[in-house]
């Protein structure tokens, strides 16, 4: 004839079994709670051996919970770090693309060389103008106009510079 102690023992064993089931489902907190309830029942029965075994399992489960939380934090940090690297790479690619587009929009090397030559010719013409070599300066300015006019309009509009040179030529020619 089963007594009240047998019922307590059956209940405690049932709780341990449920705890194992929860552990299998990775519900570690629930498994710990069930083991705590079983431990209370075993303490009423005075089963010290069972209590010590349950304490060890609870400790292991607590360590497992702590490990899972740390692992989750590490994974989250890893995802954040990865996302940051992806964002950095995307920004770098965008800067590279923008740089390439700017280079494509930049003046072709031949045109750049022409503009550099024009700049040097203007400097020489201004120096010679100060020296009073007007006919030579007019020749330089006319050559500069030819160079400006040889640059296609779709590449660049140098109308203000051309107008300035034409004014200088007209001024120099009126001095003659």
Instruction: State yes or no: pLDDT of 157 exceeds 80.
Output: no
- The predicted structure's pLDDT at residue 1: 39
**Tens-digit pLDDT profile for residues 9-45:** 888 889 999 999 988 898 888 988 998 999 998 888 8
Q: What is the mean pLDDT of residues 140-165?
A: 86
User: How far apart (Å, rounded) are the C-alpha atoms in residues 25 and 109?
Assistant: 70
Q: State pTM to two decimals.
A: 0.43
Instruction: State yes or no: pLDDT of 100 exceeds 70.
Output: no
- The predicted structure's pLDDT at residue 166: 92
Q: Dump the DSSP string for 147-166.
A: HHHTS-TTT---HHHHHHHH
- Among residues 127, 109, 107, 115, the alpha carbon closest in space to that of 161 is found at 115
Taking the C-alpha atoms of 131, 137, 141 and 144 in order, what is their torsion angle to the nearest 10 degrees?
-80
């Amino acid at each position: 004839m089963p007594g009240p102690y047998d019922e307590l023992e059956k209940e405690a064993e049932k709780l341990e079994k449920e705890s194992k089931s929860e552990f299998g489902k990775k519900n570690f907190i629930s498994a710990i709670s069930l083991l705590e309830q079983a431990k209370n029942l075993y303490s009423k029965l005075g089963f010290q051996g069972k209590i010590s075994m349950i304490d060890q399992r609870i400790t292991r489960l607590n360590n497992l919970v702590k490990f899972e939380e740390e692992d989750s934090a590490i994974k989250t940090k890893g995802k954040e770090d990865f996302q940051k690297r992806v964002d950095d790479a995307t920004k770098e690619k965008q800067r590279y693309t923008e740089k390439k587009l700017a280079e494509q929009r930049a003046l072709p090397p031949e045109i750049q060389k022409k503009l550099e030559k024009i700049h040097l010719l203007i400097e020489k013409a201004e120096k010679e103008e100060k020296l009073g070599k007007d006919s030579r300066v007019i020749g330089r300015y006319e050559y500069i106009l030819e160079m400006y006019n040889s640059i296609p309009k779709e590449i660049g509009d140098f109308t203000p510079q051309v107008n300035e040179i034409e004014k200088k030529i007209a001024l120099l020619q009126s001095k003659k």
